[in-house]
Amino acid sequence: MKNFFIITFFLFISNNYSAQNIYDVSVNLLIEYLEIKYPNKNFSDFIYIGIKRQKLFLIKDRSLSKYYPISSSKSGVGNIQDSGKTPLGLHKIYKLYGDDVPLGGVFKTRIYTGKIALIEKDAVNTNLDIISSRIITMKGLEKGFNTGRDIDSYKRNIYIHGTNEEGLIGTAVSHGCIRLKNIDVIDLYSKVKKDMLIVILNN
- Find the range with the poorest average confidence among 13-17, 35-39, 151-155, 192-196: 13-17
Average pLDDT for residues 46-62, to the nearest whole number? Answer: 97
pLDDT at 30 over 70: yes
d(Cα 161, Cα 174) in Å, to the nearest integer? 11
Buried b (16+ CB within 10 A) or exposed e, 161-196: bbbbbbbbbeebbbebbbbbbbebbbebbeebeeeb
Mean pLDDT score across all residues of the chain: 92
pLDDT at 2 over 60: no
pLDDT at 45 over 70: yes
d(Cα 60, Cα 192) in Å, to the nearest integer? 10
Q: Which amino acid is at 180?
A: L
Position 6 confidence tier, pLDDT thresholds 50, 70, 90 = low
Q: What pTM did the predictor assign?
A: 0.88
pLDDT at 24 over 90: no
Q: What's the confidence (pLDDT) of residue 129?
A: 92
Average pLDDT for residues 184-189, to the nearest whole number? Answer: 98
Average pLDDT for residues 9-36, to the nearest whole number? Answer: 73
Position 4 confidence tier, pLDDT thresholds 50, 70, 90 = low
Position 11 confidence tier, pLDDT thresholds 50, 70, 90 = low
Nearest to 136 by CA among 193, 188, 83, 96: 96
d(Cα 108, Cα 110) in Å, to the nearest integer? 5
Q: What's the confidence (pLDDT) of residue 9?
A: 52
pLDDT at 195 over 80: yes
